[in-house]
Structure 1
Amino acid sequence: MSWIDEPHQGVRYGLRGELLVEESTAFQHVTVIHSERYGNGLLLDGCWMTAEAQERPYHEALVHPALCSAHAIERILVIGGGDGGTARECLRHSEVQHLDMVEIDGRVVELCKEHLPGIGGAAWTDPRFQLTVGDGIAWAAEAPDASYDVVLVDGSDPAGPAEGLFNRRFFQHCRRILRRGGVFATQSESPEAFRAVHLAMVRLIREVFGHADPMYGWVPMYPSGWWSWTFAAVDGPRYRSPKAKRVSRIASDCEVWSERWQQGAFLAVPAFIERDLNP
């Protein structure tokens, strides 16, 4: 056993464990570890992505505010999400009829199926699930207008293969392919460890969609442990108002997310972020 660390701006975020896989794909360096505390985990280019005992605070926060509030949730697009956790949480909603997941690195999917199978769980064999190994940015650009009820971006930090997920043109396509009453959501980094990137993302998404709000929670293994997800819609902040029937169907099996938790998470905007976003 040794320490596996993600260094970030003079701080190290690490787990004690052992290496299971370390290899380079056409897109990035992939590491799979087994940790004492959180089970098997995944790093991409040396940055923590997920672990078996740390994934639900992230995936539940990204998925359920969007899927509980969109007008309809028949067709879902997930860009990224190679560990399968976002797809798994989406497919818990029985109203979902079809889910496209577009992941650029097929090797990540293979390794997660092998070493972190519980994260994707039943999603991998669900008949509603369609995996495309390819470029999610190009997929969004080529998809027809108003083709999805919900678009979720489950990408890594804004570098390497995920860099194109953080620009105006990409967000414009995400808005274009949303149906009326749809909701867009993306992970939007740590307000502490990635403050400038976080603020820039929220501002840009607000400009593109007209309505967008960050929601704050925690993923202890990530830099600073403090994380954010940003939600947007074109017809007002519907993502703040979950539909009671959908909540009742999934809340009892959530580890972190609940309607009450969501309300608090949207309100938990630190003063320095509020001043920067609303000068």
Structure 2
Amino acid sequence: MSGWIDEHHRGVRYGLIGEVLVEETSPFQRITVIRSERYGRGLLLDGCWMTAERQERHYHESLVHPALCGATSVARVLVIGGGDGGTARECLRHQGVEHLDLVEIDGRVVELSREYLPSIGGSAWTDPRLRLTVGDGIAWAAAAADNSYDVVLVDGSDPAGPAEGLFNRSFFEHCRRILRPGGIFATQSESPEAFQEVHLAMVKLLKDVFDHADPLYGWVPMYPSGWWSWTFAAMDQPRYRQPNTNRAAAIADGCHIWSPRWQRGAFEAIPAFIARELS
């Protein structure tokens, strides 16, 4: 039976008309899979929208391609979170990726995504370059060897529950430590409108931990406010701003949102009130 399915955030509802297909509580969170006419099947965690079949490219392409088109090498990639498989799928479109570690704390998110949202992970789940670990990504980063990854991507939910530890100095410092020279770190960094305080705190902290860090602004219409951000960081130079021409050409035709032109505009689309806070 169809009805409104809403995320409630600070007195505002963000919803779709649809039906709940599955709802269960894992050891970590409440997981809901829905079906809607507008955006297809979708996923909520603890009542917050995570992804949907006809929304996911807005998010995954924005997180992945500035990093993988900018890093010196993309041979070894670490994705923390991302249990729906979309970030891994976009990474593995880059032929230079030789090994990708996907570390997701909640195995049920992976299982339900593979069953109900198979198009989001697509061929990533059977790609021999992917190694899935169901475990704590914070502990994984802390235990990883120095200079062990070319790209580190954090595809986590909002800073509460199992994702809370993905938003602090110790974790970001480990991510910096495990990056190889020429590497890039990237994370979703919330909405500059709906989560303004968290967004500013994350960007400021990343600017402190890394030599360079810059937010990129886009949109995920189903998320609170629809206005979203991803922040990229690197040592020595902001190499995430300059896409490798050959890598960009190899993946551009398969992208719905990302292109070098879109990326340039998205980095420059910083609103004045955020720029003042970061100056």
Q: TM-score band (shorter)? A: over 0.9
Q: Give yes or no for the alignment of 1:32 onto 2:44.
A: no
Q: What's the Cα RMSD here?
A: 0.3
Shift of 1:210: 1.7
Where in structure 1 are there 5+ consecutive unaligned residues? none
Equivalent residue number for residue 113 of structure 1: 114
Q: 1:225 aligns to what? A: 226
> What are the superposed Cα offsets for residues 228-248 of structure 1, whole Å, 9 maximum, x if unpaired?
000000111000000000011
Deviations 1:23-51 (A, max 9, x none): 00000000000011000000000000000
Q: Which residue of 1 aligns with 2:205?
A: 204
**Corresponding residue of 2:3:** 2
User: Percent same amino acid at aligned positions?
Assistant: 76
Report the equivalent of 1:132.
Answer: 133
What does residue 96 of structure 2 align with?
95
CA distance in 2, matches of 1:206, 1:276: 13
Amino acid at match of 2:262: W
What letter matches 1:174 in structure 2? C
1:74 aligns with 2:75: yes
Give the unaligned 5+ runs of structure 2.
none
User: What is the letter of the counterpart of residue 78 of structure 2?
Assistant: L
Normalised by the length of structure 1, the TM-score is 0.99
Tell me if 1:275 matches 2:263: no
| Cα distance in 2 between the residues matched to 1:185 and 1:114 | 28
The correspondence of residues 37-186 of structure 1 with structure 2, limited to 5 A, is: 37-186=38-187
For 1:277 and 1:194, locate their aligned partners in 2 and report how far apart those are by CA, in whole Å.
Answer: 15
* Deviations 1:191-227, CA, capped at 9 Å, x for gaps: 0000000000000001001210000000000000000
Distance between the aligned counterparts of 1:4 and 1:209, measured in 2?
Answer: 39
Q: Please, what TM-score do these two structures have when normalized by structure 2?
A: 0.99
Deviation at 1:61, TM superposition (A): 0.2
* Residue 188 of structure 2 is aligned to residue 187 of structure 1: yes
The count of residues paired between Structure 1 and Structure 2 equals 278
Amino acid at match of 2:60: H
Alignment partner of 1:265: what SS? helix
1:256 aligned partner: 257
Q: Secondary structure at the match of 1:253?
A: coil
- 1:40 partner SS: strand
SS of the counterpart of 1:127?
A: coil
Question: Where do 4+ consecutive residues of structure 1 move more than 2 Å?
Answer: none
Q: How far apart, in 1, do the equivalents of 2:190 and 2:143 lie?
A: 27
